[in-house]
Structure 1
Amino acid sequence: MRFSIRSEYCEKNKFTKQIISRNLVCNKEGFWKVDKRDPLTKIPRVETRTGCETRLFVKLDVSSGKFVVIDFKEKYNHELVSLDCAHMLPSQRKISSTQAIELDSASKSGLRLGQSFELMGREVDNEKQITNMFWADEQMIMDYAQFGDVVTFDTTYKLNKEHRPFASFVGFNHHREAVVFGAALLYDETA
């Protein structure tokens, strides 16, 4: 429902191993503990938690055999994901049994796994809605903050299998080594 979840607590029956209660929370619940290695880490962990208080606690009703909502708290402190992108949330990134069968069939037909996922991606983007893509990870953003005084922008044309322009944003660090600040795969060459 426009946010990713994680299981905070799960209680099982000691004998049957059946789940009897579970507490589901927003994946942004709580805060990470301070990493003792923090000054020594080259790539620090990205802070993703905001202390969100949204939670759902369910318990098994033994008489009916169904789970009953015991407690529900809807108190967000972050923006929710649009419905169009909800399937990309970490808790939703699973393939269905139908998709697994399709991947298995594609494998038996001689398609490599990468080709199979590309085929599934084309089925998702059958209306040609995915156009330009830009990406920069946390390290690239930190490098840009430190060394972004001079940035070069370069494009290589039609060297990938899709024949799309690839653009890179590059600079230099204090050791005069090339540092990538970001990259883009362009659908076309329009502004």
Structure 2
Amino acid sequence: MEFDSEEEAYVFYNAYGGRIGFSIRKEYGNKVNGRITSRALVCSKEGVKGIDKRDVFRKTSQAETRTNCGAQMVLRYDKRKAKYVVSKFVESQNHPFIIAECSHMMPSQRRISSVQAIDVELASDSGVLACNAHELMGRQSGGKEFVGYLKVELKIYLRMRRQKELVYVEAA
């Protein structure tokens, strides 16, 4: 397969992972002269968790999320075609898949849609707190599980919006 951009390949593999039932992430990217020449897109459960050396007396540890899954899609930039070409594709998984009804809540699948963004911005401009705006969205959609994003992502979206506004005001 060939893609015009790295982002187009990411969107394709993310949609594939969402249909199958796994979340994806970018593992590595090699750059030459500012252009990414190769990129590996992997299952989010790829690899193994290292030993946390910060606190040896910790009573509870975080849940293990990595299972050394081998699913991946590796891209290489072909200069002659000026396109990204899939050079390696591994389909095998070593963990259970997420059911289709829950796949929209996997980390790589969560998004704030443009309609939801407008509602969130209106609520924020009206002085409604982020947690209350998320609760409102949950009630409108029939439950928080159907909103399509988490409260943390809502807070990140609002923070990024404020930062963009600050940059715009400083430039003017």
TM-score scaled to structure 1, two decimals? 0.57
More helix by share: 2
Q: Within the alignment, does 1:83 sit opposite 2:100 as a pair?
A: yes
| Cα separation, partners in 2 of 1:96 and 1:19, compared to 1, 3 Å | farther
Q: Name the Cα RMSD after superposition.
A: 2.6
Q: Distance in 2 between matches of 1:103 and 1:43?
A: 36
Per the TM alignment, residue 4 of structure 1 is displaced from its structure 2 partner at its CA by: 1.2
| Cα separation, partners in 2 of 1:125 and 1:62, compared to 1, 3 Å | farther
Alignment of 1:151-166 (within 5 A): none
TM-score scaled to structure 2, two decimals? 0.62
Who is 1:166 aligned against?
Answer: none
State the aligned residue count. 127
Which AA in structure 1 matches 2:75? Answer: V
Unaligned runs of 5+ in 1: 131-191
Q: 53, 57, 71: which one pairs with 1:36?
A: 53
Q: 106, 110, 120: which one pairs with 1:93?
A: 110
Q: 18, 22, 31: which one pairs with 2:39?
A: 22
Per the TM alignment, residue 129 of structure 1 is displaced from its structure 2 partner at its CA by: 8.8
Contact 2:138 2:145 in 1 (8 A): no
Which AA in structure 1 matches 2:74? Answer: F
Give the fraction of aligned pairs with identical amino acids, expressed as a percent. 45
More strand by share: 1
Q: 121, 125, 128: which one pairs with 2:142?
A: 125
Who is 1:12 aligned against?
Answer: 31
Question: Over residues 117-160 of structure 1, what are the superposed CA-to-partner deviations in whole Å (9 max), with x where a residue is unaligned?
Answer: 1222223327x998xxxxxxxxxxxxxxxxxxxxxxxxxxxxxx
